[in-house]
Structure 1
């Protein structure tokens, strides 16, 4: 999937965050209830600290919010970041595969994808770049998302199972793959 220069910056930031957090991510993967909220908070903090570097902005101009009502209905976006005083904003819907949501992961990704492609944005966010991002870690999750032609992959770790083996021997760990789509 080709994209804009900003796509490379946004997805690059997410990939950097994954690389820097791969061991905690692998450990969080096993927790019941998933690790998506953990990922949202940690990614928000990473964006707050590093997005300005990629975009050539001042750090104090970076804004990052979670659970923002960007849609005309009651749906909320997982993350919104941008730079004041510009109106440059980025909306991210994030899905994270966990040990306990593997059987529904593909369906949840499709729900976020549909929200991104079909959701009616509020006027304030009409010019925002809106992304659906999914992070899969199991062979099953990777195979499921590989069937979705609209999703592009940008990062695939080669972290092997021995690191996961310290946490849980039965994990179907296949590395970490970041998938993404941007609304046109």
Structure 2
């Protein structure tokens, strides 16, 4: 039986009839899943190219969050979304996105990592040209997992003590199954389960939470 159906040209997984993974009502992560579903072909292509695509993803997601969830980009409203906020002790570092909702007792912050394409190295047989570096430690999957852990550590150790946040997330988009397998090795991260059909792309997150977030329920309860 087909496990998906179409809804306004978006492929959505049919809800399981029996026991399955716990799903979370998380407005930001669900918006990311929807965006991935809509842009899956472009994302898959972007991952195969050299260089990163995080900047593009940040702009796209800022637009998606603004349009779909009603957040207003930058300041000027009781609900607003801001990119590249200064929340770390190192002034040169900025967090990717900051969201404030009405009635909340602090911002929701998140770092975003996107699995890059294969790194390149000089081609010894063709001066001035480059070829993919196939060393296991430099694979896109390994680098993605390392970058995610670096973000987690940065949030834990370098966030300003007086930052007015309720919760902080390290969020990652793994495009390949190898990257997902690398993330499974890190017990600190959880795979986000969405109703949108985005396989083999997966979303991973780690959350630093304060008690205020439990009170506001900004991201909703477990289902």
TM-score (normalised: structure 2): 0.63
Write the distance in 1 (CA, Å) between the matches of 2:157 and 2:188: 14
Check 1:46–1:10 CA distance in 2 against 1; reply closer, same or farther (3 A cut). same
Task: Give the drift of 1:2.
Answer: 8.2
147, 155, 164: which is aligned to 1:116? 155
- Matching of residues 98-109 of structure 1 within 5 Å: 98-100=116-118, 102=140, 103-109=142-148
- The answer as to 2:84 corresponding to 1:67 is yes
TM-score (normalised: structure 1): 0.74
- Matching of residues 5-44 of structure 1 within 5 Å: 8-44=26-62
Give the conservation status (yes or no) of the 8 Å contact 1:80–1:90: yes
C-alpha root-mean-square deviation of aligned residues, in Å? Answer: 2.9
In the alignment, which residue of structure 1 is the partner of 2:132?
none
Give the conservation status (yes or no) of the 8 Å contact 2:108–2:165: no
In the alignment, which residue of structure 2 is the partner of 1:177?
202
In the alignment, which residue of structure 1 is the partner of 2:112?
94
Whose helix fraction is larger, Structure 1's or Structure 2's? 1
Give the match's secondary structure for 1:17: helix
Structure ID, larger Rg = 2
Q: Which runs of 5+ in 2 are unaligned?
A: 1-20, 120-139, 210-223
Check 1:127–1:78 CA distance in 2 against 1; reply closer, same or farther (3 A cut). closer
- Matching of residues 42-81 of structure 1 within 5 Å: 42-52=60-70, 61-74=78-91, 75-81=93-99
Write the distance in 2 (CA, Å) between the matches of 1:64 and 1:158: 26
Give the conservation status (yes or no) of the 8 Å contact 1:82–1:89: yes
Q: Which runs of 5+ in 1 are unaligned?
A: 54-58, 160-173
The ranges of structure 1 where at least 4 consecutive aligned residues each deviate by more than 3 angstroms after the TM superposition are 1-5, 59-62, 83-88, 155-159
Write the distance in 1 (CA, Å) between the matches of 2:22 and 2:166: 18
Give the conservation status (yes or no) of the 8 Å contact 1:63–1:84: no
In the alignment, which residue of structure 2 is the partner of 1:152?
190
Check 1:4–1:122 CA distance in 2 against 1; reply closer, same or farther (3 A cut). farther
Count of aligned positions: 162
